[in-house]
Amino acid sequence: MPPLSAHSLYQSPYCPFCVKVRSALQAMQLEIEMVDTVRDPEARQALINGGGRSMVPCLRIDHEDGSVEWMYESDDIIDYFRDNFAQ
Ligand SMILES: N[C@@H](CCC(=O)N[C@@H](CS)C(=O)NCC(=O)O)C(=O)O
């Protein structure tokens, strides 16, 4: 399991699914890097290039072997943090 610092959440300010994930992270007291795909067009393009879709929220996981995983579903993202990082 990569450390928390190897995760970043691609998201946008008003997307309700992003709000849900940010709230869950806050409730779990987990701080991860936030990437705003509305304010940062290059990040949006990186999301499309890497994950294949512009949809947010998407969790980027940088694995220790150098591979990158893109997780798109808000419920999957919340479950992932709950299962692996929540106290
Ligand atoms: N099933 C997805 C839905 C996410 C979703 O619909 N995101 C919208 C914003 S609220 C979106 O990114 N739409 C633009 C796109 O698909 O490129 C989830 O729960 O994460």
Does any ligand 1 atom lie closer than 6 A to the CB of residue 23? no
- pLDDT for the residue numbered 87: 83
Mutate which of 36, 37, 56, 70 to test ligand 1's pocket (most atoms within 8 Å of Cβ)?
56
Q: 35-54 in b/e burial notation, b at 16+ Cβ within 10 A?
A: bebeeeeebbeebeeebeee
The single-letter code of the amino acid at 56 is V
What is the pLDDT of the chain when averaged over all its residues? 97
3-state secondary structure of 76: helix
- pLDDT for the residue numbered 67: 97
- pLDDT for the residue numbered 52: 98
- pLDDT for the residue numbered 86: 93
User: What residues of the chain score a pLDDT lower than 50?
Assistant: none
Q: Ligand 1 centre and the CA of 52: distance in Å?
A: 13
* Structural domains for the chain: 4-84 (3.40.30.10)
Q: How far is CA 10 from the centre of its chain?
A: 5
